[in-house]
Chains A and B, each alone.
Chain A
């Protein structure tokens, strides 16, 4: 990446400020982030202007609102966290923008509208809105719309509640723009965007006897073009492609993508590290990208036996799984992303590092999202983690990695080489200006 610009959301880190999801809208003009405190912040890209060539499409805060509040389920004596797990934009159909945001239990549809004009010159009211003394009204005047400072209004249009017993981990809008699905650990529901009081259960993997539970759903997504297809990943590392035309309840998959485990890598933690934390269809719809603890894999929808590509994200952690289990890092759920042309994939790692893999050249790079290395206009320097052996000057050794600095959420602009990286409570947006064509 040639040029970078960091945007800090807060200077003093608080738990509520930890960013929990990042998502570009379909044009890339808007970028939404959700945090642990239940807030959503939307950034808008400034249009490039010839007058100020340096502010080349930078992102500024567009709107901030409180999406979810902490709730308490009295029946079960459980607190429901307000943390935003996922945000998904709806395709824009009019002047307003809409997005879905969800916490563990409730999904909400928000409508974001702009107001930049207001009527002035009322006949019966004065400028402050007070009724005029009728005796002073001698002529008829019609209000005229005058420009005003832009005001962004956000309102909750729908609340989809009580659809899930377990924690919601993903939502995905269907290409038909009418329905969307929400997935929790054991079930996936299909909703209509306009209907909040009911949903259809399309996948249910809850066993009759909970003690027989062996796997849970970890992520799911609709196919970008085929409105009847969706995929869901499991904690066992498998992917299931389902066709909603086949049956009302899609418990039986149409395709099962699974790679046999390598017995030489077996350890106590084999099951944990094979759990898929994220699945994303490519823009073309032909491939799927999955992330498990140590790798990212590209799967071809036409081949179920194994992924077509596997990239090691941080294999040097393989010998440290026990420590990572102790400090809970092994449960971190990293996300992954495709670039617009499906030629590069990106995912986060520890020490505020994130990795990019070029599928064509097979080259990969490790970059760091930190204030020190991200002055505006600075070029990001590739980083390297050394695992013993020769150590170059700027290398970081595995043992000095900071495991509290993890990049779980990343997003890639749908068309351009702009990426958004969430590093705990900071959001970094990097743009590749010099080299707009990466491959």
Chain B
């Protein structure tokens, strides 16, 4: 658990550095930012691989980082706020990262705090809630990366729930994935899955959209509902709160100059991301933007707006 905490802290610090580097005199320093991105990657890998229960993360600790997309992995399920242990197969598929103290589960990214009471959703089978879920998801996804099945890790409530536990019906858990549903701690107030934690249901047909989620993905109330399984990827216009304005500005700075940190980190240096075969650039970007929140070219939104969100997500969005 300490590793995870430390990793989390390091990721936050790194994001802060990257953010600050954009305003420092003399332009963005490529060397320093490259090093910071390497640390960010290492910390994220550890964070994602550290199997300790994510319970403690539910509160102030912050949301989970997005697990990198694994090539070939099924689309990541929606943020399993509750952290469900991925199916064993997925675990194995997890690419080798830093050695972790425990291996079994991946800490589930805690739900983003007060921001959304609703379950992150994935509407897997829950078309009804799609709309409402969208909103929540939009904000949620912004800070959380795609929860991948590959993510090893026990969820907070991992225990009782089998790998295939499903909360599908309430749209809570990761739809498309074989993700175990949370044990009852479904954030959705009206979630029906609460009573069924112990059940081991087969995963509902994932409304899983394609892994690659288009720009229209989450964010502004996409009609199609977020592909649950798809990684948060690009969260273009997440919330109205965010200012997309910075994108252009960043682009210009990039000219011949690595100054466009956002886009670089949005898509990340190789290694920072594991690009899924089908995802390509977008995936990469989205992926990276998972934990880092920032989408390439997008400027952080007002911090104050997100004050109610835990520090983790605040740091992420800041980027």
A residues bordering B, Cβ < 8 Å? 75-81, 83, 104, 165-167, 169, 185-186, 210-216, 218, 235, 266, 268-272, 275, 322, 325-326, 328, 331
**B268 interfacial contact with A, CB 8 Å:** yes
CA distance A165 to B30 in the complex (A): 11
Which B residues lie within 8 Å of A214 (CB)?
34, 269-271
Find A76's partner among B7, B38, B43, B255 (CB 8 Å cutoff).
B255
Q: Are A331 and B35 in contact (CB-based, < 8 A)?
A: yes
Whether B268 and A211, one on each chain, are in contact in the complex, defined by CB atoms closer than 8 angstroms, is yes
Q: How far is the CB of B129 from chain A (nearest CB, A)?
A: 36
Task: Please give, as numbers and ranges, the residues of chain A lying within 8 Å of B13 by CB-CB distance.
Answer: 325-326
B185 at the interface (CB under 8 A from A): no
Chain B residues within an 8 Å CB radius of A325: 10, 13, 39
User: Quick check: A216 and B10 within 8 Å, CB to CB?
Assistant: no
Within 8 A of A (CB), among B30-78: 30-32, 34-35, 38-39, 42-43, 46
Chain B residues whose C-beta falls within 8 Å of the C-beta of A77 in the assembled complex: 252-253
A275 to B29 CA separation, bound complex (whole angstroms): 15
**A322 & B6 in contact (Cβ 8 Å cutoff):** yes
Contact A213 B34 (CB under 8 A): yes
- Does B26 contact A76, Cβ atoms closer than 8 Å? no
Contact A216 B259 (CB under 8 A): no
Which residues on the B side are within 8 Å of A186 (C-beta)? 30
Q: Known contacts A185-B258, A270-B42, A331-B35; can you find 11 more A-B pairs with CB under 8 A?
A: A78-B259, A169-B31, A211-B269, A213-B258, A214-B269, A268-B39, A268-B43, A269-B39, A272-B35, A275-B35, A325-B39
For A216, list chain B residues within 8 Å (CB): 30-31, 34
Residue B127 CB within 8 A of the other chain: no
Contact A271/B38 with A76-B259, A78-B253, A322-B10 known, Cβ cut-off 8 Å: yes
Which B7-31 residues sit within 8 Å CB-CB of chain A? 7, 10, 13, 17, 25-27, 29-31
Cβ of B264 < 8 Å from any Cβ of A? yes
Contacts A166-B30, A216-B30 known; A272 to B38 CB distance under 8 Å? yes
List of B residues within 8 angstroms of A269 by Cβ: 39
Q: Look across to chain A and name the residue whose beta carbon is closest to the beta carbon of B264.
A: A210
* Residues of B close to A326: CB separation below 8 A: 13
Cα distance A76–B257 in the bound complex, in angstroms: 8
The answer, yes or no, to whether B289 is at the interface (CB within 8 Å) is: no
Contact of B264 among A76, A166, A211 (CB under 8 A): A211
A55 to chain B, nearest CB (A): 40
Kindly list chain B residues whose C-beta atoms are within 8 Å of the C-beta of A211.
264, 267-270, 284
With an 8 Å Cβ cutoff, the count of chain B residues facing the other chain is 34
Least CB distance from A203 to B in Å reads 15
Tell me if B304 counts as interface (CB < 8 A to partner A): no
Give the distance in Å from the alpha carbon of A215 to the alpha carbon of B271 in the complex. 12
What residues of A have a CB within 8 angstroms of the CB of B255 in the complex? 75-76
In the A-B complex, the 5 residue pairs with the closest CB atoms = A81-B26, A78-B27, A212-B270, A185-B30, A271-B38
Known interface pairs A211-B270, A235-B31. Does A165 touch B256 (Cβ–Cβ under 8 Å)? yes
CA distance A271 to B33 in the complex (A): 12
- Determine how close the nearest CB of chain A comes to the CB of B175; give it in whole angstroms: 30
Q: Mark B253-291, 1 if CB is under 8 A from A, else 0.
A: 101111100001001111100000000000010000000
A235 CA / B32 CA spacing, docked (Å) = 10
Q: Closest CB of chain A to B267's CB: distance in Å?
A: 5
B34 touches A81 (CB 8 A): no
Most chain A beta-carbon neighbours within 10 Å: one of B7, B32, B267, B271: B32
A86 CB to closest chain B CB (Å) equals 15
A17 to B293: give the CA distance in the assembly, Å: 39
Please, which residues of chain A bring their CB within 8 A of the CB of B284?
Answer: 211
CB distance from B213 to the nearest CB of A (A): 19
Instruction: Give chain A residues whose Cβ lies under 8 Å from the Cβ of B6.
Output: 268, 322
Nearest-neighbor residue (CB-CB) of A165 within chain B: B256
Name the residue on A nearest B40 (C-beta).
A268
Query: Are A271 and B35 CB-contacts (below 8 A) given A211-B269, A211-B270, A322-B10?
Result: yes
User: Is the CB–CB distance between A268 and B269 below 8 Å?
Assistant: no
Q: Would you give the shortest CB distance from A376 to chain B, in whole angstroms?
A: 37
Q: Which of A80, A167, A215, A270 has the most CB of B within 10 A?
A: A167
- Closest Cβ of chain A: how far from B296's Cβ, in Å? 10
Q: Is the CB of B270 within 8 A of A167?
A: no
- Which residue, of A213, A218, A268, A272, has the highest number of chain B Cβ atoms within 10 A? A268
Nearest Cβ distance between residue A105 and chain B, in whole angstroms? 10
Contacts of B259 in A (CB 8 A): 76, 78
Q: How far is the CB of A411 from chain B (nearest CB, A)?
A: 23
Q: Closest Cβ of chain A: how far from B102's Cβ, in Å?
A: 18
In the assembled complex, which residues on chain B have CB atoms less than 8 Å from the CB atom of A215? 34
Q: Known contacts A268-B10, A268-B43, A331-B35: does B253 contact A76 (CB below 8 Å)?
A: yes
How far, in angstroms, from A266 to B100 measured CA to CA in the complex?
Answer: 13
Which residues of A are found within 8 Å of B256, using beta-carbon distances? Answer: 76, 165
A272–chain B nearest beta-carbon distance, Å: 5
Who on chain A is nearest to B46 by CB?
A268
> What is the bound-complex CA distance between A235 and B13, given in angstroms?
21
Question: Which B residues lie within 8 Å of A169 (CB)?
Answer: 31
Q: Of B7, B29, B98, B269, which one neighbours A167 at CB under 8 angstroms?
A: B29
Please report the C-alpha to C-alpha distance between residue A139 and residue B264 in the assembled complex, in whole angstroms: 79
How near does chain B come to A68, taking the closest CB pair, in angstroms? 12
Say whether B257 contacts A166, CB under 8 Å.
Answer: yes
Q: Which among B35, B43, B98 is the interface contact of A235 at CB below 8 angstroms? A: B35
Q: List 25 A-B contacts (CB under 8 A).
A: A76-B252, A76-B259, A77-B252, A78-B27, A78-B257, A78-B259, A79-B26, A79-B27, A80-B26, A166-B257, A166-B258, A169-B31, A185-B31, A210-B269, A211-B267, A218-B31, A235-B34, A235-B35, A266-B98, A268-B6, A268-B42, A268-B43, A271-B42, A325-B10, A326-B13
In the complex, chain A residues whose CB is within 8 Å of the CB of B30: 166-167, 185-186, 216
| Closest A residue by C-beta to B16 | A326
